[in-house]
Structure 1
Amino acid sequence: MGGVLVAWLRDAMLGLHHDITIPSGSALNTDLSRALTDFHTCRYGSLALRLPRLIHAGHARTAMAARLARSYLLATRMLIKLDEQQLDWMAADRAHQSAETTGDALLIAEAARQLAVLARKANWHEQAMSIALTAADHSGLRAGGPDHAAERGLLIQSAAYTAAKAGDAAGMRELTDEAAAIAKELGGTTRLRDHGGCFSPTTVRLHLISAENSAGDPSTALAAARAVTPQSLPSVERRARYYTGIAVAYGRWGCRDDCVRALLAAEHHAPEETHARPTAKSLISGLLISGRITTELRRLAARVGVLT
């Protein structure tokens, strides 16, 4: 399903298939809301139908810059998840341009966050850090309400992850503490309208699992995971990320059976996510060539598509 979604997004972004019927504005708003739900519940078959249509409609109706920006932000997140390294930059740039057109501080900040993620994936760590922290310090975010503060927290989390990727574990933990302080001050969970996600002490702790993995210490990543209750995570997508993060840590530690169990848990919560995600495929491929292949691992590999 990941390949279908990528292909249809590509064609929408290239302006192909002009025969698509464009629904009314209210129907498109409903479609965007449902597309965000599809992402957070990992229903990628449904998302493959809705998101390309939203992008096509956004270009056809130039007055709807905010909706186009939100559509491209969602496309960017999905393409990053699927490691589509050409289309994700294209989507992120269009999200940024559309967001700037609106003048909306939250949209502009979220577009900056996605650009920071892509810069980090390209190993441009200094630039990624600068994009995220400059956006977090923008007066438009500092002067806003709880949702603006939450977006600042997400940007600081992004900078923390970049510090981990750059080998600066101490800097990563300092920035994570800063994000955690914002979450604690906000209290509870703050939802973000532009991408349907949320920010809370729990999501900060979830982010720390990936950051500690990137810093190179699987035992610390697993300790961070023990501080998170999976049932408290706000979406299916977040729970799948939680179990995938645990699988990465066990894989690096050489705990094969624990790694497989974590991958199976991720698959249980979000099969479409686990079957499409390059991280899961890479872990499973590594397990297949590094040791004993159990029936459980072989069946998982077949479902994910790395063993036929």
Structure 2
Amino acid sequence: MRRRRFLAVSAAATVGVSLPGSAAADQNVPVGQLLVGRLRDAMLGIGQDNQLPSPAQLPAELARAHTDFHTCHYTSLALRLPRLIRVGHSLSSDDSEHLIVLGQSYLLATRMLIKLDEQQLGWMAADRARQVAEAAEHPLSVAEAARNLAVLARRAGWEEQALSIALNAADAPGLRAPRGGAAERGLLIQSAAYSAARSGDGAGMRELTDEAAAIADGLGGSTALRDHGGGFSPATVQLHRISAEFSTGDPSAALAAARALPPQSLPSLERRARYYADVAAALAQRGRREECVRALLAAEHLAPQETHSRPAVRSLISGLLLSGRTTPELRALAARADALP
């Protein structure tokens, strides 16, 4: 009896558990924190959810989760994605279709956890995505899991290891399929380029980025793998080039890359918001504060939950408040993003 009471109290304190009063409490939790808490509990197999989809609904629910991600509706994603993981773990591991859905759910969870700078859970999700993809014998998912692992390694400061993970995965025989395989190889080469940039190798970064751009051009210019890596096209490669140039310590080159990219050519709101956030970071480095704030407001206008949730963007806003003259616009943005120092 004592143990049951203890478990009940623990469950009631868990974010995202379907217990009386939890919905009201969730309204006061920032969406990024809510999403992380629910993913954590689903991955650990604790808590409960009484509105899980049926196995037959999983493909449609996964498609809706991808749409939530692309449109930056993270409140909806905070419900849908943990449920996909919970149901996926309850099904037979012998069903390859269900394994693929679970693997895709973990890939999407990893991307969100990376975005929210949740490294520990990110490693856990990425490794599970890799294991499930290998069990399902799904080469594109195996490669995408490797790309996420490379991103996490780079964020841990292991640039050389991140470069090796990405380039080794790009050489996998499973990526010889004409379109999807080539696009995934391009995404991996992009990731390697970013790792080169973080290690200070600007020439290597540009060589690898040009290689990725050539692959994108060879695919005819349309977006591939929109639900499997954020999309791969000449426009997404150019978006990558902005942040890669910035990572080499050259904000002027980053802004030049941004001028060559119409943001409306990017395949999703999430990618367009990322464009404006990257431009804002480069403008801040150049001391162009007013233009930086305008770029941040453009990102917020497109995707408020994305802009308010990302730690990197909130840190940029806080830094602007501390480093110079503030304006009512900037203070209001900081309040909305919970970025007041």
1:287 aligned to 298, 303, 320, which one?
320
Q: Which residue of 1 aligns with 2:25?
A: none
**Corresponding residue of 2:145:** 111
- CA gap 1:196/1:86 in 2 versus in 1, 3 angstroms: closer
Counterpart-to-counterpart distance in 1, 2:208 and 2:172: 17
- 8 Å CA contact 1:70–1:194 kept in 2: the answer is no
Where 1:86 maps in the other structure, the secondary structure is: helix
Partner SS, residue 72 of structure 2: coil
Q: What residue number does 2:210 align with?
A: 177
1:262 pairs with 2:295 = yes
Contact preservation (8 Å) 1:20, 1:53: no
Aligned to 1:59: 89
The count of aligned residue pairs is: 307
Distance across 2 between alignment mates of 1:24 and 1:286: 46
**Displacement, 1:52?**
0.3
Structure 1 consecutive aligned stretches of length 4 or more whose deviation exceeds 2 Å:
17-26, 193-197
**What pairs with 1:137-216 in structure 2 (closer than 5 Å)?**
137-141=171-175, 143-192=176-225, 195=228, 197-216=230-249
Q: Report the Cα distance in structure 1 between the residues aligned to 2:330 and 2:288, rounded to whole angstroms.
A: 13
- C-alpha separation between the residues in 1 aligned to 2:209 and 2:172? 19
Please say if 1:272 is aligned against 2:302.
no
Unmatched 5+ stretches in structure 1: none
Equivalent residue of 1:191, what SS? coil
Residues 116 and 131, structure 1, Cα contact 8 Å, conserved in 2? yes
- Match in the other structure for 1:84: 118
Task: Give the AA of the match of 1:100.
Answer: E
**Matching residue of 1:74:** 108
Task: Give the 3 Å change call, closer, same or farther, for CA 196–175 of structure 1 in structure 2.
Answer: closer
Q: Which residue does the alignment assign to 2:336?
A: 303
- Structural RMSD (CA): 1.3
More divergent stretch after superposition (143-152 vs 44-53): 143-152
User: CA offsets, 1:42-71, max 9 Å, x none?
Assistant: 000000010000000111013321111100
User: What's 2:170 paired with?
Assistant: 136
For 1:50, the equivalent position in structure 2 comes to 80
The offset of 1:29, in angstroms, is 1.0
Quote the offset at 1:193 in angstroms.
Answer: 6.6
CA distance in 2 between partners of 1:19 and 1:144 (Å): 39
Q: What secondary structure sits across from 1:188 in the alignment?
A: coil
Report which of the two structures shows the higher radius of gyration computed on alpha carbons. 2
Task: Provide the C-alpha distance between the structure 1 equivalents of 2:235 and 2:266, rounded to a whole number of angstroms.
Answer: 7
Report the residue type matching 1:205 in the other structure: Q
Highest RCO, 1 vs 2 (Cα 8 Å, sep ≥ 6): 1
- 1:196 and 1:136 map into 2 onto residues whose CA distance is 14
- Check conservation: 2:226, 2:232, Cα contact below 8 A: no
Greater displacement, 10-19 / 112-121:
10-19
Instruction: Tell me if the contact between 2:151 and 2:191 (Cα under 8 Å) persists in the aligned partners.
Output: yes
Residues 21 and 43 (structure 1 numbering): CA distance in 2 closer, same or farther, change over 3 Å?
A: closer
Counterparts of 1:22 and 1:287, CA distance in 2: 43
8 Å Cα contact 1:107/1:194 also seen in 2: no
Rounded Cα–Cα distance in structure 1 between residues aligned with 2:315 and 2:287: 15
TM-score by length of 1: 0.97
Change beyond 3 A, Cα 1:194–1:233: closer
CA drift at 1:94 = 0.6
Task: Give the alignment's TM-score, normalised by structure 2.
Answer: 0.88
Q: Could you tell me whether the CA contact under 8 Å between 1:146 and 1:190 is conserved in 2?
A: no
Give CA-to-partner distance per residue, 1:227-246, whole Å, 9 cap, x none: 10011110000000000000
For 2:231 and 2:247, how far apart are their aligned partners in 1? 23
Identical-residue share of aligned pairs (%): 67
Q: Report the CA distance between 1:18 and its aligned residue.
A: 4.0
Provide the C-alpha distance between the structure 2 equivalents of 1:211 and 1:93, rounded to a whole number of angstroms: 25
